[in-house]
Amino acid sequence: MPSETPTLASIKGIGPRYAELLGTLGLVTHDDLLHNVPRRHEDRRHLVPLSEAQEGASITVRGKVHRAKEARWGAMRLEATIAPADVSRKEDILVARWFAYRPYGIKEGCELFLYGRVIRDKKGHWLMRQPEYEIVHQDADSYIHIDRLAPIYSLTDGLSQRIMRKIMFEATQRTAFEAPEFYPAPPGLMARQEAFRVIHFPETLEGEERARQRLAYDEFFVLQCVVAQRRLNRVTGFRPRAKAASHDLTARWIKSLPFPLTGAQRRVMAEIDADLGQGPPMNRLLQGDVGAGKTFVALYAMLRAVEAGEQAALMAPTQILAEQHALNLRRWLEPLGVRIDLFTGNTKKKTDRLRGGELDLFNNGKKPATAAPSGSVVIGTHALLYDRYAADQLGMIVIDEQHKFGVLQRLALSRKGRNPDILVMTATPIPRTLGMTVYGDLDVSILDELPPGRTPIVTKCRASGELEKFWTFLHKQLGEGRQAYVVYPLVEDSEKVEAKSVKAEFERLKGVLPDVRLGLLHGQLRGDEKEQVMTDFRAGKIQVLLATSVIEVGVDVPNATIMLIENAERFGLAQLHQLRGRIGRGEHASYCVLVGEPKSLEGWRRLKIMEETSDGFRIAEEDFKIRGPGNIFGTEQSGLPPLRFASLERDFQLLTEARVGADRLIKEDPTFSQWPGLREKMGSAQVVSLVAVS
Ligand code: ADP
Ligand code: MG
């Protein structure tokens, strides 16, 4: 059994003052110290002869103290001179100076390791200011600061790197501690306790990497156990499902379509049917690039619920999108006699209407006075989540553009109704590692076929001075009846950010393009204003829509074929891909121009990827590499506990192995009863993910 881990006070060198300082860094227990991973290691193993030193470089030197002089002036405390045998060669003399504190034990005649940056002083000697030092002694294993890979830690005022390193050395190398195995770890991995020793004070970089992998595996293993358990619970906690429904509505709807469904759409619909036929509720992720036709799949799933006498809800990340969905779905569903209600929480009038009981779904949390109407569809934004929304009959939830929501929002919605079926849709391909963690409890369907008759989008990157031709081209296209988007990163000009804003450019372009009907759309407009602008754009009353990224998701106006994105360098690649997906939706050729002033070659290379490919998956992986998962998927709000050792970008292999291991363990021992330490860690992983959202 694991014994108590030592407390901080039992560690040599930690008095009340340091304990307090460590506390400000969140380091309270011995276990915290173990997890206080160095930011990096500095390689201080290679001795450099002073005759080969380079000005400005940080180097390790070894030498005998020729003279040690206590200084009394200013802040300087000690000056030590290290001189070669031939003292006359002043270029090889090193002067080390310490300020603020007097290093302990440095005397004439003793031998030192020094590490620091060397510069030439006025006299032509080498000079090191405040170098790290170590007095050479017999026990070569006990060097902490020099002649080794030295850990560099995060610090706080009053705690120097040197003190911190000493504390960490005591805590990890000299004080007994236990880091017990808490699950059956695969052979071949470094022991957990050893890994903690090595991660702080490794002998080699390879050793450090093996230690990191061991601890990363532990993190992934806990995560995968949580995911495995979520999957298991899903299978056991299902609701009584409405009797097998007829295909009455769905058959009529499909017949009414002016074009055939794509093969991929039909395949995914069959996958949904298979889910609905079995006991446990559906929990499915639908991935499909922009324009692949996910809305029809959603519509199918919702109609299946309506056929079974249940309600369906569709949640979209923006009001514009919710309204567009409502418009679309009304067109298809009202002829079939299915009622559709829109609930965005933005439009007061509507909310009141809903609250007033006209729609029995929303009843301020009280039991509905009358049974909620079955066989209807409600469309909304995340207001659906926060309103006390009593939907007894809710049997199907579709979440559009899931990457804009968190996992917990998804879970919150699924708690409404009684274990409803859930379909989450996303156009941003989910990198494999996140697919296995944050989304690991979902079955996956892929829409990998675009509807026929799309012409590929021609994409060009331009510097802002090169737009003359664009405006001519735009005029010509508008003359042929097409429409366009121009996208800006900002709503208003800002002193802090050097980028164009949609409001300022709207005023400017009115002068430049007097004969063009311009429209303005951004997040600061009221809900009904936005709605009006979109209606006008759809109807062709607006020819060119100037917008912010509010149009990023889902907006579908097939006659719009041109997009200009200003300050493209300010958008992420995945976001550019989403924006670009607003065009190329109809029969006419489409053109996208990215205007940017990237500061670096790397920035240009990044934008150029957009010229080269329209493969959303490749774009997402590139984006993921550059910006990390948190920025793209809001992993923090999506419920992933912080990972200290593991990297979602690099450790795919480890993650896969951890998943296999976790699946095997849960089969043998579904409640992890043999491994209380594991259960405890799983508990805190869940808690972290809940706290992250609330
Ligand atoms: P997304 O997957 O980006 O949500 P949408 O569902 O908005 O895509 O569909 C994009 C466009 O393709 C819409 O205009 C839609 O009417 C059209 N569409 C969808 N399915 C088909 C199909 N099978 N054949 C032709 N057009 C389709
Ligand atoms: Mg869509």
CA dist., res. 432 & res. 444, Å (int): 12
- Distance of alpha carbon 414 from the chain centroid: 23
Who has greater pLDDT, 479 or 601? 479
The SS3 assignment for 687 reads helix
Give the ligand at the shortest distance from the Cα of 582. 1
Q: How far does the centroid of ligand 2 lie from the alpha carbon of residue 425, in Å?
A: 8
Residues 6 or more apart in contact with residue 164 via CB below 8 angstroms: 153, 155
Identity of the amino acid at 30:
H
Residue 580 lies in a domain: yes
246, pLDDT greater than 90: no
Q: For ligand 1, pick from 300, 329, 399, 556 the residue to mutate: most ligand atoms within 8 Å of CB.
A: 556
Ligand 1 atom with the shortest distance to the CA of 292: 2
Answer yes or no: are the C-beta atoms of 434 and 220 closer than 8 Å. no
What's the rounded mean pLDDT across residues 107-113? 90
Residues 6 or more apart in contact with residue 51 via CB below 8 angstroms: 91, 92
Last residue of a domain, one of 583, 613, 643: 613
CA dist., res. 493 & res. 515, Å (int): 25
Q: How far does the centroid of ligand 2 lie from the alpha carbon of residue 427, in Å?
A: 7
> Which of 290, 259, 238 minimizes the C-alpha distance to 422?
238
Check pocket membership of 300 for ligand 1, CB cut-off 6 A: no
CA dist., res. 196 & res. 202, Å (int): 10
Ligand 1 atom with the shortest distance to the CA of 265: 23
Radius of gyration of the chain (CA): 32
- The pLDDT assigned to 619 comes to 84
Check pocket membership of 259 for ligand 1, CB cut-off 6 A: yes
Residue 488 lies in a domain: yes
Max Cα-Cα span within the chain: 102
What's the rounded mean pLDDT across residues 243-250? 75
Last residue of a domain, one of 551, 581, 613: 613
Question: Tokens 């493969």 — which residue?
Answer: 615
The SS3 assignment for 518 reads strand
Residues 323 and 381 in one domain: yes
- The pLDDT assigned to 456 comes to 82
Task: Identify the band that residue 355 occupies on the pLDDT scale cut at 50, 70 and 90.
Answer: very low
- Distance of alpha carbon 53 from the chain centroid: 43
| Candidate from 86-90, 136-140, 687-691 with smallest mean pLDDT | 687-691
Residues 473 and 411 in one domain: no
Ligand 1 atom with the shortest distance to the CA of 288: 2
670, pLDDT greater than 50: yes
- The pLDDT assigned to 621 comes to 75
Give the ligand at the shortest distance from the Cα of 538. 1
How far separated are the first and last CA of the chain, in Å rounded? 36
Residues 6 or more apart in contact with residue 62 via CB below 8 angstroms: 47, 111, 112, 113, 114, 136
Residues 2 and 130 in one domain: no
Question: Tokens 């965005």 — which residue?
Answer: 344
Who has greater pLDDT, 141 or 653? 653
Check pocket membership of 400 for ligand 1, CB cut-off 6 A: no
> Which of 62, 231, 232, 38 minimizes the C-alpha distance to 133?
62
Check pocket membership of 556 for ligand 1, CB cut-off 6 A: yes
Residues 474 and 345 in one domain: no
Residue 346 lies in a domain: yes
Answer yes or no: are the C-beta atoms of 569 and 627 closer than 8 Å. no
Residues 15 and 156 in one domain: yes
**DSSP symbol at 171:** I
Q: How far does the centroid of ligand 2 lie from the alpha carbon of residue 288, in Å?
A: 9
Check pocket membership of 261 for ligand 1, CB cut-off 6 A: yes
Give the ligand at the shortest distance from the Cα of 581. 1
Token representation of residue 621:
């992986």
Angle at 619 between CA 545 and CA 610, to 5 degrees: 55
Domain that holds residue 69: 48-146
Q: How far does the centroid of ligand 2 lie from the alpha carbon of residue 426, in Å?
A: 8
Return phi, psi of residue 475, to 5°.
Answer: -55, -45
Q: For ligand 1, pick from 257, 266, 295 the residue to mutate: most ligand atoms within 8 Å of CB.
A: 295
Q: What is the pLDDT of residues 223-243, one digit of tens each?
A: 889 888 877 776 665 555 655
Check pocket membership of 265 for ligand 1, CB cut-off 6 A: yes
CA dist., res. 34 & res. 169, Å (int): 10
> Which of 255, 222, 259, 225 minimizes the C-alpha distance to 644?
222
Q: For ligand 1, pick from 585, 588, 614 the residue to mutate: most ligand atoms within 8 Å of CB.
A: 585
Check pocket membership of 616 for ligand 1, CB cut-off 6 A: no
Residues 17 and 106 in one domain: no
Ligand 1 atom with the shortest distance to the CA of 453: 25
Q: Whose C-alpha lies nearest to ligand 1, atom 19?
A: 293
Which pTM value belongs to this model? Answer: 0.66
Burial class (CB in 10 A: 0-12, 13-18, 19+), 604: middle
Check pocket membership of 584 for ligand 1, CB cut-off 6 A: no
Return phi, psi of residue 327, to 5°.
Answer: -60, -50
Q: How far does the centroid of ligand 1 lie from the alpha carbon of residue 293, in Å?
A: 3
CA dist., res. 618 & res. 611, Å (int): 13
| Candidate from 113-127, 318-332, 437-451, 487-501 with smallest mean pLDDT | 437-451
Strands (E) across 105-180 are located at 111-120, 126-129, 132-135, 149-152
Token representation of residue 101:
């504190």
CATH of the domain at 344: 3.40.50.300
- The pLDDT assigned to 368 comes to 37
Q: Whose C-alpha lies nearest to ligand 1, atom 24?
A: 451
Give the ligand at the shortest distance from the Cα of 322. 2
Task: Identify the band that residue 665 occupies on the pLDDT scale cut at 50, 70 and 90.
Answer: very high
Q: What is the pLDDT of residues 511-532, one digit of tens each?
A: 888 999 999 999 898 888 888 9
**DSSP symbol at 47:** B
- Distance of alpha carbon 232 from the chain centroid: 26
Return phi, psi of residue 195, to 5°.
Answer: -60, -40
Last residue of a domain, one of 613, 643, 673: 613
Task: Identify the band that residue 351 occupies on the pLDDT scale cut at 50, 70 and 90.
Answer: very low
Residues 488 and 564 in one domain: yes
Q: For ligand 1, pick from 254, 285, 296, 582 the residue to mutate: most ligand atoms within 8 Å of CB.
A: 296
Name the percent of the chain lying above pLDDT 70. Answer: 83
CA dist., res. 323 & res. 20, Å (int): 55
Identity of the amino acid at 467:
L
Q: How far does the centroid of ligand 1 lie from the alpha carbon of residue 332, in Å?
A: 13
Residue 333 lies in a domain: yes
Residues 16 and 71 in one domain: no
| Candidate from 19-33, 58-72, 187-201, 369-383 with smallest mean pLDDT | 369-383
Question: Tokens 């909620």 — which residue?
Answer: 372
DSSP string, 620-643: HHHHHHHHHHHHHH-TTTTTPPP-
Q: Whose C-alpha lies nearest to ligand 1, atom 9?
A: 293
What's the rounded mean pLDDT across residues 607-631? 77
- The pLDDT assigned to 356 comes to 32
Return phi, psi of residue 504, to 5°.
Answer: -65, -40
- C-alpha dihedral sign at 647, 652, 658, 663: positive
Residues 300 and 160 in one domain: no
- Average pLDDT of the chain is 83
Check pocket membership of 394 for ligand 1, CB cut-off 6 A: no
Answer yes or no: are the C-beta atoms of 43 and 58 closer than 8 Å. no
CA dist., res. 329 & res. 97, Å (int): 76
Residue 648 lies in a domain: no
Check pocket membership of 291 for ligand 1, CB cut-off 6 A: yes
- The pLDDT assigned to 56 comes to 93
Residue 102 lies in a domain: yes
Residue 619 lies in a domain: no
Give the ligand at the shortest distance from the Cα of 299. 1
Question: Helix and strand tally (H, E) in the chain?
Answer: 21, 21
Residue 192 lies in a domain: no
Question: What count of Cα atoms within 13 Å lies in the side-chain half-sphere of residue 281?
Answer: 23
Check pocket membership of 558 for ligand 1, CB cut-off 6 A: yes
As for how many domains the chain has, the answer is 4
Answer yes or no: are the C-beta atoms of 257 and 410 closer than 8 Å. no
Who has greater pLDDT, 183 or 318? 183
CA dist., res. 669 & res. 673, Å (int): 7
Q: How far does the centroid of ligand 1 lie from the alpha carbon of residue 451, in Å?
A: 7
Residues 542 and 407 in one domain: no
What's the rounded mean pLDDT across residues 491-515? 89
Residues 274 and 361 in one domain: yes
**DSSP symbol at 389:** B
Residues 335 and 252 in one domain: yes
140, pLDDT greater than 80: no
Buried-state track 362-400, b at ≥16 Cβ within 10 A, e below 16: bbeeeebeeebeebbbbbbbbbbbebebbbbbbbbbbbb
What's the rounded mean pLDDT across residues 590-616? 87
